[in-house]
Amino acid sequence: MAAAPAILLLARPAVAVEAPLSHVTQRRINSCAAALLAARQRIVDATGLRRPSEPLPAYLARALYPLPGESRGAFVARLDGYAAAIERAADATAALRSEPELVDRSAGNARVWTRATKLMRALASQAARLRIATDPARRSEPDERRAIAQGVALVALALDDLRDALP
């Protein structure tokens, strides 16, 4: 009985690379905007904590501290949920961290994309800072509150830019 020939398959290792988009579609823009909107809703709109007509900075100044009667565990879980929402938004918008090839090459659209991609990179950096600030071994509430507030601001700005961005 003859032995079957041995086949050696060499696989290239998987490498996570942030490749630039050759072009961007409206569907991609909408998908990223939806991820940003979901983060905003999780942190701001769906909490039931924001008062009518309350400016976002005032809401965050109040919401990033323990609420009356809130246990320590519930407070930490709430902040961890906010941090996770920002991290999910940063992950979902990774493809827009570099400027895509645009169909609409107008100066206004180019400015919007320059600003939007800069915000997406800043959001990714902020998510990394949040991971450090929420690490149980090194948890620092002031750093965590500051990182969440900055993350929410970046989410809001990036969402506004994507509303104006054209493929």
Average the pLDDT over 128-132 and give the result.
Answer: 89
Handedness of CA 103, 109, 115, 116 (dihedral sign): negative
The model's pTM: 0.81
What is the structure's pLDDT at 135? Answer: 83
Going by pLDDT thresholds of 50, 70 and 90, the confidence category of residue 153 is very high
pLDDT exceeds cutoff 70 at 4:
no
DSSP for residue 65 = S
Q: What is the number of H-type helices and E-type strands within the chain?
A: 5, 0
> What digits encode the pLDDT tens for the residues 70-101?
999 999 999 999 999 999 999 999 999 998 88
Nearest-angstrom CA–CA distance, 34 and 39: 9
